[in-house]
Amino acid sequence: MAQNNIQPIALKEWAVSVNALAEGQQIIVMRKGGIIEETRDFQLMSPNFYLMPAYEHQKKHLLKEQYADQLDDTLVGGAVNLESVKLEAYAEVVEDIEITDQETLDRLRDMHIWTDTFAEERLRWKKTKPLHVLVLRVYRLREPIEIPMRAAYNGCKSWVRLEDGFNTPERVQVLDENKLQAEILKIKQALE
C-alpha cells in the first residue's frame, strides 16, 4: 500500500457514517453537495481524502434501526461543541456512480446504514443533479490526528482543505482487498 499522494483534503460526512466506514459496515457514501457548496453541486475534489466527522444534520430516524444507537456514540465527549476534530479514517475513491432514479437507488438499499427515506431525500434534493454514490477503499489511521476546528471547516459543505500541517500517518486498510472486491462486486451486480 502506497503511503504517498495523501492530500490535505477532507470530505465531511456524518460522524455515524464515518464510523460505519471505518468499521467496514459499508463502503459507500451518497453525495449531492452541501447547502453552501461553492460549485452548487457535488464534484469530486480529490480521489483520496480524510473522512472528517460532521455532526450537523445527523438524525436517528434517518438511520436503519440496527444503526440508530451508533449515533449516540458519536455525540459522547461533547462532539457537538468542538474545539478540535479527530481524523481517524482516510479513503480512496474506487468508483463514482451517478444515480438519477429511485429504482436504481433502491437496489443499493442493503449496502448502507441509512433508511430509504434518507436515501430518497438525497436523490430528490436538487432534482436536476445526479446523486453521487462514492465507492470507497477505506483506511484506518494507526494514530488518529487531532486538529483544531477552524471556522473554514464549519457549515454544510462537502469538502474542506485542512489548514494545519501534520505528518502523513500510517494507514491500515479496513477491509482486506479480497473482501473489498467482493463488496464492490455486490454493488455492481445490484446495479446491473
Q: Residue 144, exposed/middle/buried by CB under 10 A (0-12, 13-18, 19+)?
A: exposed
Do residues 42 and 158 touch, judged by C-beta distance below 8 A? yes
So what's the pLDDT on residue 14? 87
Query: pTM higher than 0.75, yes or no?
Result: yes
Q: Where are the domains of the chain?
A: 9-191
Of residues 175 and 39, more confidence is placed in: 175
- Residue range 73-86, pLDDT digits in tens: 666 554 555 788 88
Paired strand residues for 95: 135
Of residues 60 and 150, more confidence is placed in: 150
Do residues 99 and 133 touch, judged by C-beta distance below 8 A? yes
**How many other CB atoms sit within 10 Å of the CB of residue 165?**
7
Residues of the chain above pLDDT 70, percent: 81
So what's the pLDDT on residue 78? 46
So what's the pLDDT on residue 47? 93
9-191: what fold? 2.30.130
* Strand spans (E) along 120-186: 131-148, 159-161, 171-173
